[in-house]
Structure 1
Amino acid sequence: MIHHVSLGTNDVARSRKFYDAVLGVLGLGLLKASQDSADYGVSTVLFSLETPVNGKPASAGNGVHIAFEAGGRSKVDEFHRVALLHGGSDAGAPGLRPEYDPNYYGAFVLDPDGNKIEAVTHHGK
């Protein structure tokens, strides 16, 4: 079982502007922040952004992405729209992905550091 996931960032303040808005759409809030990290969740930390502890620049992983359960198609749509308004870039517009599953509805974006994230649901509406 996964306890939490962390992605690297080179600018915590910039990442917070993006993730505060985007994760808010999905019901996750900022639980703790410092100049080196931002931690999101509901009652416990599920997702973090951190400057690398080795002092080297953060870089996005090719082939890596984090998928968040959206709970419905309208939330996937809103996630994508809000991400683009807050410095993200499109990596796959909202829509059905029948090659994964007949009910798989998702959207992909790149955050300001180039990390790929997704909102997905298997529910209608």
Structure 2
Amino acid sequence: MFDHVLFGVSDYAASKAFFLKALEPIGIAVVSEGPLGIELSADGKSSLCICQTEEKPAHLHLAFTAENRQQVEAFYRAALEAGAKDNGAPGLRPNYSGKYYAAFVIGPDGHNIEVVCHEPEV
């Protein structure tokens, strides 16, 4: 549905380091970086773009797709190591669906970052 999502951050260097470390387990990496910010993607079809802003960013909920539950768990560990706050350890969320396996963290600007796998356990 989306080609890209762009949002501002209060500390570009800290946010760049956080997102690169936290999202590496699901294959997200730098596509490009320039004076306007950084573009991250896993598939080259859709991207997350981050730029420095002087305004206080509104809190977002960003949910990324994982291929398997191990990626959800790896994201959670990497995000906490990168300085995120726990907002929901990896696990099934049966109130969403029987296969909704996700983890949630709060990132540097207070954004709720989620990685979810919709596949059954293998």
Q: Same fold per TM (> 0.5)?
A: yes
Length, aligned pairs only: 120
Report how far residue 45 of structure 1 moved.
5.2
Structure 2 CA distance, aligned partners of 1:7 and 1:41?
15
1:103 is aligned, of 99, 110, 114, to: 99
| Offset at residue 107 of structure 1 (A) | 0.5
CA distance in 2, matches of 1:90, 1:16: 19
Is residue 30 of structure 2 the alignment partner of residue 30 of structure 1?
yes
Which residue of 2 is the match for residue 19 of structure 1? 19
Where 2:17 maps in the other structure, the secondary structure is helix
Alignment of 1:1-125 (within 5 A): 1-34=1-34, 36-42=36-42, 43-44=44-45, 46-52=47-53, 56-61=54-59, 64-123=60-119, 124-125=121-122
Q: Which runs of 5+ in 2 are unaligned?
A: none
With structure 1 as the length reference, what TM-score do the two structures score? 0.86
Q: Give deviations 1:10-63, integer Å, cap 9, x for gaps.
A: 1111111111111211111111223552210133551111123xxx323232xx
The CA RMSD over aligned residues, in Å, is 1.6
Gaps of 5+ in 1: none
Taking structure 2 as the reference length, the TM-score comes to 0.88
Q: Percent sequence identity over matched residues?
A: 36
